[in-house]
Amino acid sequence: MPGSEFKTKEAYYRGSREQRMAYHVRMREAAHQNLKILQRRMTGQTGIEGVTDADPVVDEEPINQEIDRLQELFRFHNRQYRRLKTNSTLQNFFTFEEETDRRISVPHTTRTGSKIVHKEISQEEYDKLSNEDKIKYHARLSHKYKKEGNKKLSNFHNTMFNRLNYARNLPTFPTYVEGYSRFGKEYTKEQYLQMSDEDKRKYHRMMEDRAKKSGDNNLSNWHQRMYNRLRRDNKLPIYFSPEHEAEESS
């Protein structure tokens, strides 16, 4: 379509919806064609030193990096085209670097286009991954176990995904850990009694949130009451738990 070969961001945003759609289709197809050329070059070469097709992969091999770039570029232009086609309320962008609302994509194929067989990895392999690769790893496995009907493992990997995705200061693990808390660290009454008032405030705020998420409004309100006593420097006593309060009051 005339006018769809935009050279600048300003020209793109002045263009009509149809011109922008045509632009993204053209760029999407160019990325797809170049991707297929590199994938054909790699087909049958996995196993050769420096050429890999694993899941997940972290390496600096130029051909692998270029495949990753083209895959991201293809997905980007496809996202913008779909937004424009469906008159989405989401903004469309001229370049991948501009995009501010991209969600991390969970790939379903390897670099050569074969279907990924998602599998858990060792702690040693996991520690070498970047946070973004860890997020993708847990997203893939959460989806895999959900499809298989394994609620326990799906919830585990979803919890690890959320800890990383929302930058929560909580540990993450590559495989299920027996006794892990989906909400974070557990505390004992003895530990609580040694805390500063500031740490006690954080504790009650955390426990209020946990109780609310689990649907226990009575417990949530109880922890909110303890939090408020500390926040307002109230002279009323504070307790670790409702059971602790009952013990002291008896």
Provide φ and ψ at 115, rounded to 5°.
Answer: -65, 135
* Domain final residue, candidates 117, 140, 174: 117
pLDDT at 166: 80
- DSSP single-letter state for residue 39: H
Cβ atoms < 10 Å from Cβ of 223: 22
* Domain final residue, candidates 117, 148, 166: 117
Verify that 71 and 1 share a domain, yes or no.
yes
pLDDT at 5: 81
- Helix (H, G, I), strand (E, B), or coil: what is residue 116? coil
pLDDT digits (tens, 9 = 90+) for 210-219: 788 777 889 8
pLDDT digits (tens, 9 = 90+) for 225-244: 999 999 988 889 999 999 89
- Helix (H, G, I), strand (E, B), or coil: what is residue 109? strand
pLDDT at 187: 75
pLDDT at 34: 92
Verify that 54 and 149 share a domain, yes or no.
no
pLDDT at 180: 60
Distance CA 137, CA 120 (A): 8
pLDDT at 26: 93
Verify that 173 and 233 share a domain, yes or no.
no
pTM: 0.47
Residues lower than pLDDT 70 in the chain: 1-4, 43-60, 103-109, 113-117, 169, 178-186, 250
Verify that 222 and 160 share a domain, yes or no.
no
- Helix (H, G, I), strand (E, B), or coil: what is residue 115? strand
Q: Tally the domains of the chain.
A: 3
Domain that holds residue 72: 1-117
